[in-house]
């Protein structure tokens, strides 16, 4: 079955880069996503990558995909205190259309 795993916690200093990692098991994933959730709020779509891409960059965000190892990462450059949140990795499975499977989330804490 499908399974998405993330490390639970990451702490960085303001101005440093943050790298949040995710692994998934289903090789039929079509798209992989990163969502951000602030306390008491819904999820904000940050970025996504198609499964035949290796990298996608969007301003301070860089997504790297290693399809062979089924490993996805999100790098946040120049991390700010406002980036403190929970980050969820998710995959969509082609056989289920647009159903998303989420990881447990990584808590990012940015220290000033």
Partner 1 sequence: GAVVSQHPSRVICKSGTSVKIECRSLDFQATTMFWYRQFPKQSLMLMATSNEGSKATYEQGVEKDKFLINHASLTLSTLTVTSAHPEDSSFYICSADTGTGAYEQYFGPGTRLTVT
Catalog residues that contact partner 1 under the rule CB under 8 A: 30-31, 35, 40-45, 48, 50, 88, 92, 97-100, 102-105
Which CB atom, from 101 or from 110, has the smaller least distance to partner 1? 101
Which CB atom, from 42 or from 82, has the smaller least distance to partner 1? 42
In the bound complex, what is the minimum distance in angstroms from residue 84's beta carbon to partner 1?
15
Strand partners, 52: none
Where do the DSSP E strands lie in 42-105? 43-50, 55-58, 61-66, 71-76, 85-93, 100-102
Euclidean distance between CA atoms 88 and 110, whole angstroms = 17
List CB contacts of 60: < 8 A, sequence separation 6 or more.
Answer: 76, 77, 78
Which CB atom, from 14 or from 61, has the smaller least distance to partner 1? 61
Residue count of the chain: 112
Which CB atom, from 12 or from 100, has the smaller least distance to partner 1? 100
């Amino acid at each position: 079955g499908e399974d998405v795993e993330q490390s639970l916690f990451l702490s960085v200093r303001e101005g440093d880069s943050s790298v949040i990692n995710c692994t998934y098991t289903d090789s039929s994933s079509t798209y992989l996503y990163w969502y951000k959730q602030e306390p008491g709020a819904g999820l904000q779509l940050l970025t996504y990558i198609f499964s035949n891409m290796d990298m996608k960059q969007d301003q301070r965000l860089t997504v790297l995909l290693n399809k062979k190892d089924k490993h996805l990462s999100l790098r946040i450059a120049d991390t700010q205190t406002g980036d403190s949140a929970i980050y969820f990795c998710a995959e969509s499975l082609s056989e289920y259309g647009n159903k998303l499977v989420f990881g447990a989330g990584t808590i990012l804490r940015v220290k000033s």
